[in-house]
Chain A
Amino acid sequence: MQRAYRKAHRTIWFILALVLVFTLGLALMLRPTGTHEQPPVPLDDTAKSVLEGSK
């Protein structure tokens, strides 16, 4: 029983190590950091002339 308990313990922490490091890493990687910043993109002629006019 104790041996099984210790084995379960080991297995749990191997799995947790993988899952939690992956989760935390992914969540931090996907975090919007400003690298995604994009200026407004005009999509039709009115928008383009507005953009021209503002320059």
Chain B
Amino acid sequence: MSVKYVPVIWNRTKLVYDVVVLAIVGAYLGIYIYLAPTFQTVTRPIDWDIYKAQAFGTCVFFLLTFILSIGPLARLDKRFLPLLYNRRHLGVITCVLAYFHVDYILGWYNAFSPINRYVSVFIVNTSFDRFLGFPFEILGILALLIMTILAVTSHDFWLHFLKPTLWKFLHMGIYLAYALIIGHVALGALQSAAGPFMTAATGVSLTLVITLHLLAARKEHLIDSLKSTLDDSGDWMDAGSPEDIPDKRARIISIEDDERVAIFRNGTKLSAISNVCAHQNGPLGEGKIVYGCVTCPWHGYQYRVEDGRSPPPFTEKISTYRIKLESGRLWLNVKALPPGTYVEPVVSPMTGEGS
């Protein structure tokens, strides 16, 4: 939650997160470059520059696999949410490592020649009509271009400038980048330079990413297709029994062809707000009321549950909804109120003794 833009806001979680990420990267590169060679069965070692390019390239691929697994993992099991919190730093680190990979390749394969090494990537292999033999380097370059754009626009400044919807659409570009990198690896390294372990690890990575995304997609689809009954007016939707909502937590209601709504319980009081966080469209209904405010599970943005406004000095606001209690059941008015509209909480006497 920022009121002014600073290059990077640090806190303890981010520091610990980055230390763990650097430990992962350090372990990978250190062991690949310095330990593994002593166990190779080779007549002579692979050229040092090429070997380092392999180390950085494969590291980027597996980091990207990990980055793409975090989203669906967190959807499937909330305990993984902390991995999501600082995912942007992970992305930027991955992008930087990719540049090392490119630098080693260009400084070796594309060097020692009168042809300019940067131009050469596009002119030296022109077998665009082939599958095997396709200039796979260009797939890598396109992926790097996407990763660079995403790294540069990863700051919250761009998130606010582009608005969450456009920003998230732009950052879905990472899926395209991953697809390009799969092609880059399949048509390059896996054709000759990789051993059986690398081939297997690539297959496992792709299977993992796809399986997790399809599982998460199925779960979301099931939530979206839950049907609740509307009353005769068509404005009020049955939102179930208030007693089933845990204290400080919410029930998420899917509204036909629209956003989801989160009905929060704070002691005996019930309030309904949009399920969509103003920051990155995070699922507020999976958040919790902390210090009297609904707290987003993704990045901890907070909103007062009665009016959907962030407490000062912050200025974010989201839509609120009206609810009513009729003979022990909650009813939700499906028409969103303008963001920041105050709605008096509904008091449910039956939930009084909650935890």
Interface residues of A (CB under 8 A from B): 1-3, 5-6, 8-10, 12-14, 16-17, 19-21, 23-24, 26-28, 30-31
Contacts and interface: CB of A to CB of B under 8 A. Distances in A.
B19 interface: no
Contacts of A10: 217, 220-221
B interface: dominant SS:
helix
B261 to A, nearest CB: 11
Closest 9 CB pairs of A and B: A27-B186, A13-B213, A10-B217, A17-B210, A2-B259, A24-B186, A20-B182, A6-B220, A30-B132
A49 B276 CA distance: 81
Nearest to B221: A10
B232 interface: no
A25 to B, nearest CB: 9
> Which of A1, A12, A16 is the most central at the interface, judged by chain B CB atoms within 10 Å of its CB?
A16
A26 B131 contact: yes
16 contacts: A1-B259, A2-B259, A2-B276, A3-B257, A3-B259, A5-B281, A6-B217, A6-B224, A9-B172, A16-B179, A21-B206, A23-B183, A24-B186, A27-B187, A28-B203, A30-B131
Nearest to B194: A31
Interface string B198-216: 0100110010001001100
Contacts of A12: 172, 175
A8 to B, nearest CB: 8
B100 to A, nearest CB: 25
Contacts of A20: 179, 182, 206, 210
Contacts of B276: 2
B127 interface: no
Given A10-B220, A19-B179, A21-B206, 14 more contacts: A3-B257, A3-B259, A5-B281, A6-B217, A9-B172, A10-B221, A13-B214, A14-B214, A17-B210, A17-B214, A20-B210, A24-B206, A27-B132, A31-B191
Contact of A13 (B168, B206, B210): B210
A41 B175 CA distance: 48
A14 B172 CA distance: 15
Nearest to A20: B182
A27 B206 contact: no
B240 to A, nearest CB: 20
A17 B217 CA distance: 12
B210 A1 contact: no
Given A3-B224, A10-B221, A13-B214, A24 B131 contact: no
A20 B130 CA distance: 17
B214 A5 contact: no
A21 B258 CA distance: 33
Contacts of B220: 6, 9-10
Interface in B146-192: 165, 168, 172, 175, 178-179, 182-183, 186-187, 190-191
Contacts of B190: 27-28, 31
A16 B214 CA distance: 10
Given A2-B275, A6-B224, A31-B190, A23 B213 contact: no
A36 B293 CA distance: 67
Contacts of A28: 186, 190, 199, 203
Contacts of B187: 27
Nearest to B203: A24
A17 B182 CA distance: 12
A27 B224 contact: no
Nearest to A31: B191
Contacts of B259: 1-3
A3 B260 CA distance: 8
